[in-house]
Structure 1
Amino acid sequence: MKTEKKLGVWMDYSMAHLMEFSTEPFEVKTIESKFQHHDKEESLAKGESLMHKKEQLSQLKYYKKISNAIQNFYHVVLFGPTNAKQELFNMLREDHNFLKVKIEIKETDKMTSRQQQAFVRKHFSMA
């Protein structure tokens, strides 16, 4: 019997913590967005339109890195305090490479890494 590869992704707009369910203790991979506060100030000084374009491009690259990391999993739960998870979900739904991946979204608050791991463990133990 083939085991399903399961992944929990806690994320906000600045970073994502990826936790594969099958490993104990969890191995956590972190992906960070490259668009930082100082970039925002620098871009804003040159014009608001430029800042928004730079921010969108940076977010797209961030989401692409996450999607590359999760493409080999069969069941993924995206969770966290912001709408970033919903934006990533929308992007993944438009990509035919993710048609066979079961992706769920759960709203949570900010969490410590222990809380994130407990959430993933509980979520997939019940699934």
Structure 2
Amino acid sequence: MEHYKQVGVWIDHSKAHLIGFKSGQVRLLETVESPFESIKRIEGEGRDMSRFSPNPVHVSNNEYKKHHIVQNEINEYMRMMEQKLANFEDILLFGPGTMKERMKNRLREKKAFEGKWLSVERSDKLTENQLLAFVREFYKKEGV
């Protein structure tokens, strides 16, 4: 397999598409699925209310527990992405939502990513051909 130094990563909370760029050519390298589930239903779980009030304003500890489960899943996803991106020199993060910014901030904190070029762009959901075109146009515009 060819070795790519430049990569575009379309990322959101559910998955990431890694698109390699080399000599004006782009290729979808890999799709990484996130362990994050947006809606949790734990077997046997009751309603999110306190036992003393049917009022949904008074929530139980389920919310606290669910929040920590979600945070652990997102951290695991980011660890997986760090390992995938470690071999690239130029990294373009793009996509909807906030995940691209969270990923950039995490990579900036890691010593392994010091000196690497990171860029963040906003985009919506794209088809595979649109993903490839987005990365190709970005790197051509940057003159890399």
Same fold (TM over 0.5): yes
Tell me the CA shift for residue 28 of structure 1: 2.9
Q: What is the percentage of aligned positions where both structures have the same residue?
A: 31
Amino acid paired to 1:103 = L
Does 2:117 match 1:110? no
CA–CA separation in structure 1 for the residues paired with 2:112 and 2:42: 36
Query: Does the 8 Å contact 2:89/2:117 carry over to 1?
Result: yes
Task: Could you tell me which runs of 5 or more consecutive residues in structure 1 were left unpaired when the two chains were aligned.
Answer: none
Q: Normalising by the residue count of structure 1, what TM-score does the alignment of the two structures yield?
A: 0.88
- Between Structure 1 and Structure 2, whose CA radius of gyration is higher? 2
1:92 maps to 107
Residues 4 and 75, structure 1, Cα contact 8 Å, conserved in 2 = no
Task: Provide the aligned length of Structure 1 versus Structure 2.
Answer: 124
Q: Provide the TM-score with structure 2 as the length reference.
A: 0.78
The structure 1 segments of at least 4 consecutive aligned residues displaced by more than 3 Å after TM superposition are: 43-46
Going from structure 1 to structure 2, the CA distance change for 1:71 and 1:80 (only over 3 Å counts) comes to same
Give the root-mean-square deviation of aligned CA atoms: 2.2
Q: In structure 1, the residue corresponding to 2:19 is in which secondary structure?
A: strand
Q: Which of 73, 82, 102 is the equivalent residue of 1:58?
A: 73
Distance 2:73 2:86 in 1: 20
Listed as ranges, the gaps of 5+ residues in structure 2 are 47-60
- For the residue of structure 2 that corresponds to 1:36, the secondary structure is coil
Structure 2 counterpart of 1:30, one-letter code: T
Aligned equivalent of 1:7: 7
Distance 1:25 1:108 in 2: 18
Q: Which amino acid aligns with 2:141?
A: M
